[in-house]
């Protein structure tokens, strides 16, 4: 694990989720984590897509241990957290195909997190990359984090599946705040219209006001960065999708600053945009 300062700062947790798979959650989670890390925030990214864990592949690393090892007695968070960049961005890999983790109810979630608790307070942000859909693990993790980012694409199936996830989290867990990111848009108008469709359904059928966080352009640099196993923001910092994701990172930093006004450091926001 990277060296962390002993200065107590608030830890903000956020999760990236979706209705449908393949909409761009892992790429968004990875690049938001990377952008915030570059702006000097202490970051932990956790791959909690326990069905289809692949953030290690996006990063081109082969971690020796993962979340499953943490369930064993005597294994500490320091044993399983990998440092992606020297002294920076920490990453906890998921375990694919582990039934206990696929069906994580609130009690089991709490026992996993009781082990992680001492380590989590050392971070400014903990970013969870979740699986798609309404599995138990997704719901219990999404209900736990401070902020939920729902990734949708303009496809109608993505919209209906996202609505289903919001509905279940609202009715079964009492969650009412959702931030929406529309990925793979051809222009910002398409992002806004897609959001309005989802927001209209949430308002009409659930009486819920959801928030628009922004959109990310469809950009050939994204699959290219995946092929190179490098974060997009590192591979093509000036491309449209990178710029969009940097704007989202600024919004996340502002959100945290609203919770703790003394963290509203203009210099940090500037650093996110200029690297």
Ligand X SMILES: Nc1ncnc2c1ncn2[C@@H]1O[C@H](COP(=O)(O)OP(=O)(O)O)[C@@H](O)[C@H]1O
What residues make contact with ligand X under the rule CB under 6 A? 18, 21-27, 183-184, 216, 218-219, 222-223, 226, 241
We find the least distance from the C-beta atom of residue 160 to Mg ion, in angstroms, to be: 20
We find the least distance from the C-beta atom of residue 30 to ligand X, in angstroms, to be: 8
We find the least distance from the C-beta atom of residue 26 to ligand X, in angstroms, to be: 3
Q: Could you tell me if 161 and 153 are in contact, meaning their C-beta atoms sit under 8 angstroms apart?
A: no
Q: Could you tell me if 149 and 17 are in contact, meaning their C-beta atoms sit under 8 angstroms apart?
A: yes
Q: Could you tell me if 147 and 12 are in contact, meaning their C-beta atoms sit under 8 angstroms apart?
A: yes
**Which long-range contacts link 114-117 to residues 24+ away (Cβ below 8 Å)?**
115/70, 115/76, 115/77, 116/70, 116/77
Query: Which of the choices ligand X, Mg ion, none does residue 66 contact, using the CB cut-off of 5 to 8 A by kind?
Result: none
Query: Which of the choices ligand X, Mg ion, none does residue 219 contact, using the CB cut-off of 5 to 8 A by kind?
Result: ligand X
For ligand X, the closer of residues 119 and 181 by Cβ is: 181
We find the least distance from the C-beta atom of residue 187 to ligand X, in angstroms, to be: 13
We find the least distance from the C-beta atom of residue 130 to Mg ion, in angstroms, to be: 8
Helix axes 106-120, 136-144, angle to 10 degrees: 50
Query: Which of the choices ligand X, Mg ion, none does residue 88 contact, using the CB cut-off of 5 to 8 A by kind?
Result: none
Q: Could you tell me if 39 and 184 are in contact, meaning their C-beta atoms sit under 8 angstroms apart?
A: no
The span of 45-53, 62-70, 81-89, 163-171 binding Mg ion (CB under 5 A) equals 45-53
Sheet holding 90-92, edge to edge: 82-83, 90-92, 43-48, 125-132, 12-18, 147-152, 179-185, 211-217
What would the x/- binding string for Mg ion be over residues 13 to 42, using CB under 5 A? ------------xx----------------
We find the least distance from the C-beta atom of residue 16 to ligand X, in angstroms, to be: 8
Cα torsion angle, 113, 119, 121, 122, sign: negative
Query: Which of the choices Mg ion, ligand X, none does residue 80 contact, using the CB cut-off of 5 to 8 A by kind?
Result: none
Beta bridge partner(s), residue 132: 18
In the chain, what is the straight-line distance between the N-terminal and C-terminal CA atoms, in Å? 23
**Closest CA relative to residue 124, chosen from 7, 1, 242:** 7
For ligand X, the closer of residues 23 and 119 by Cβ is: 23
User: If binding is defined by CB under 5 A, does position 153 make contact with Mg ion?
Assistant: no
Give contact residues for Mg ion (rule: CB under 5 A): 25-26, 49
């Amino acid at each position: 694990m990277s060296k962390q300062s002993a200065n107590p700062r608030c830890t903000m947790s956020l999760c990236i989720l979706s209705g449908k798979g393949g909409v761009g959650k892992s790429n968004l989670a990875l690049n938001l984590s990377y952008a915030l890390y570059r702006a000097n925030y202490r970051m932990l990214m956790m791959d909690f897509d326990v069905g289809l864990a692949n953030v290690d592949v996006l990063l081109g690393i082969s971690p020796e241990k993962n979340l499953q090892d943490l369930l064993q007695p005597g294994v500490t968070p320091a044993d399983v957290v990998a440092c992606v960049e020297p002294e920076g961005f920490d990453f906890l890999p998921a375990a694919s195909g582990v039934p206990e983790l696929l069906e994580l109810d609130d009690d089991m979630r709490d026992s996993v997190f009781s082990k992680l608790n001492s380590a989590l307070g050392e971070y400014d942000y903990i970013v969870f990359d979740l699986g798609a859909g309404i599995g138990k693990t997704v719901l219990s993790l999404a209900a736990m984090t401070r902020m939920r980012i729902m990734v949708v694409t303009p496809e109608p199936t993505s919209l209906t599946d996202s609505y289903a996830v919001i509905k279940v989290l609202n009715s079964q867990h009492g969650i009412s705040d959702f931030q929406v990111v529309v990925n793979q848009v051809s222009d910002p108008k398409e992002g806004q219209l897609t959001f309005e469709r989802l927001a209209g359904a949430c308002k009409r059928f659930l009486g819920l006001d959801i928030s628009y966080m922004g959109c990310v352009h469809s950009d050939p640099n994204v699959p290219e960065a995946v092929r190179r196993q490098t974060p997009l923001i590192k591979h093509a910092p000036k491309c449209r999708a990178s710029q969009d994701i940097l704007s989202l990172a600024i919004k996340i930093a502002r959100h945290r600053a609203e919770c703790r006004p003394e963290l509203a450091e203009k210099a940090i926001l500037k650093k996110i945009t200029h690297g």
